[in-house]
Amino acid sequence: MLRIIIGNAFFGLLDLSVGGFIAYIAGITTGVTFNTFQYIAGSFLASSPDIDVAYMYLRKGRVYTNHHEFVTHRPIIGIPICFLVCWAIGGTTWGIIGGICVLWHYLHDTKDLFGGGIALFWPFSRNYHSILHKTVTPEESAMNTEHNATLDTIILRPGKKVVVETTASTIMLATVVGNTTNFAAAVAIAGFVWLNLICVWIIFKKRNELDNIP
């Protein structure tokens, strides 16, 4: 259980950070001072398509199928819906923030940005396209790997994805926190994230050794 909560927290950290950062940039661009709740709203919006993961955990306690095949991961549906809902609640600025946040999420789900692949052009193509990797069918994609196993291999031990994404996340988090509060708070949040991640790696390495997991 701890594995799943911590693994998914770091798995979703970049989307949360980018969402807050998009709200921050929108605030600068429009000259409006946002409050903490609005930065958190940006984080939530950039993570919102993964509501299907939460649904599966609540329903069966695991991600039991390729969640990128759910309607929540269809950009042609998700982007306009998010734009309209945010626009209805918060006006044009928030409509645009919502649209950009979910667009970011879908791009992050492509293989080029460390995702497992996504059908960006559905319903015109069901395949997972990306620029740097070959096009694959959903069945051939990395999304067919068991999600909990993915957490074990790419989040709970040091690796390219987790290091690059956590570095990008802490830069964005520290920028937002530093510019809305003070420098000490920015350093504190960056230190907090990395200290936690390194502790997580050490703890799970020990646990894997005890359980004889390679």
Interface residue list for Zn ion (CB under 5 A): 49-50, 109
Residues 139, 68: Cα–Cα separation, whole Å: 11
Closer residue to Zn ion (CB): 46 or 176: 46
- CA-CA distances (angstroms) from residue 64 to 56, 76, 137? 7, 24, 18
122-144: b or e for each residue (b if 16 or more CB lie within 10 Å)? beeeebbbbeeeeebebeebbbe
Q: Answer whether 166's CB lies under 8 Å from 194's CB.
A: yes
- DSSP state letter for 62: S
CA neighbours closer than 13 Å in the CB half-sphere of residue 143: 23
Beta-bridge mates of residue 136: 128
